[in-house]
Amino acid sequence: MDIIVKKNFKHLSGEIEIPSDKSISHRAVILASLAKGKSVIKNFSSAKDPLSSVGVCKNLGVDIELNDNTLTVNSNGTFIKPEADLYCGNSGTTMRLMSGILAGQDFSSVLKGDASLSKRPMKRIITPLSLMGAKISSENNHAPLEIEGTSLHGINYALPIASAQVKSCILLAGLFAHGETICTEKTPSRNHTEIMLQSMGADIVIHNNSIKIKKSTLEPLHTEICGDISSTAYFLVAGLIVPNSKITIKNVGLNPTRTGIIDVIKQMNGDIKILNKRELNSEPAGDIEVCYSPELKGIEINGEIIPRLIDEIPVIAVLATQCNGCTIIKDAQDLRSKESDRIKTIVTELKKLGANIQETPDGMIIQGKTELYGDCEVECYSDHRLAMSLYTAGLICKKEILIKNFEWVNISFPEFWGLFNKLM
């Protein structure tokens, strides 16, 4: 599906509620499937990626029903050997987290993905799982992954990269391993897995950047999931750069391992306020208000903040085109291993719109403030976050743009277009 984006509205205004957090939804269905008893998860995500996790767990024998965004999971706490290969779609989270669990089962299984997922690196999980005794065969460290379930043993592993998916994979394998599994990260990554494991009674200890876990029996999960801050990012940026806009986004997750974009907006002199702060099942949440900010300034983004905003960097690049001065993004080389090479693709496509942006090995340099012209076609490279970032850029282009294959947005945010229309 190709769509045309044009500025046929005066400004963006109003109040919206962002759909459920995708990362938490993945973990909720996966961990609930490992708990003996009935779990009820309210406000579960309707995006394709979390539904891939639902499908995999169903094919492992778990009774799961989704009605009106409420997910009910009835499990005896164990998986059964699947009758066919387990299809993860486009979801790296599904494949990487399930690999840790399946490595410690008493049966063999195969995890497959779509063409895009099959290009993404899996050595980052194969290496630590192999150190735990896992038996995994792959095609040059890419999916499909053939996993021969076996007895695992705990390890002490220092993460070479900041990755919540790798960390979670190791911790979930640790649930089935003999002895203690210790995972240490240099830079904190999103910690939804640890929070949920604690709430479900796992034998887990968190001290600074080190997490220890032992074999555990999980209690059923009863939770409500907050809104996804990664999905919120496009509305934050749009509110800041579309003249005369004012937007309030309700019920957004504010986990400090995910709020790097809020810190960046404040550093850029953006008009942003956090309202109605509260806690939703051990996860901080609140409402966010943003207003048009004509005096944004360029900054340098690097180091420890990068894992806290890695998924938002493409739309931050759009924001940077409207900042006075230079914005430099460094230490983001892991963007090259996402659904697309997000450094190369966002630079290539924003240049088409008229942005003054250069690619670097680990990031990009953006000179602003630049008027985006448009009047062209842009590609999303089968990447949902790139598609949404380009849509956001299209809102301020002088002339319309056409985004090819915009349906990839449904991977994470099928409500995206409708919510923007509500604000116009």
What token pair was written down for 204? 């887990």
Q: Side-chain half-sphere of 390: how many Cα atoms within 13 Å?
A: 37
b/e string for 226-252 if b means 16 or more Cβ within 10 A? bbbbbbbbbbbbbbbbbeebbbbbbbb
Q: Side-chain half-sphere of 202: how many Cα atoms within 13 Å?
A: 29
Q: Consecutive sets of 10 residues in the chain, 424 residues long: mean pLDDT of each? A: 89 95 96 97 94 97 95 97 96 97 97 94 96 96 96 96 93 97 92 96 93 96 95 97 97 95 98 94 93 98 94 97 98 88 96 97 96 94 95 96 94 90 94
User: What pLDDT digit, counting tens, does each position of 93-129 carry?
Assistant: 999 999 999 999 999 999 999 999 999 999 999 999 9
User: What pLDDT digit, counting tens, does each position of 138-190 carry?
Assistant: 989 999 999 999 999 999 999 998 899 999 999 999 999 999 999 999 888 99
Residues present in the chain in total: 424
Question: Which stretches of 295-415 are DSSP H helices?
Answer: 313-320, 342-353, 384-394
Residues 21, 49, 287, 311: which is the catalytic one? 311
Is there a catalytic annotation at residue 85?
A: no
Reduce the DSSP state of residue 193 to 3 states and report it.
helix
Positive or negative, the CA dihedral 173, 175, 177, 183 is: positive
Q: In angstroms, rounded to a whole number, what is the distance separating the alpha carbons of residues 181 and 173?
A: 9
What token pair was written down for 5? 């984006």
Q: What is the DSSP letter of 85?
A: P
Q: Burial of 215 by CB count in 10 Å (0-12 exposed, 13-18 middle, 19+ buried)?
A: middle
Whether this prediction's pTM lies above 0.95 is answered by no
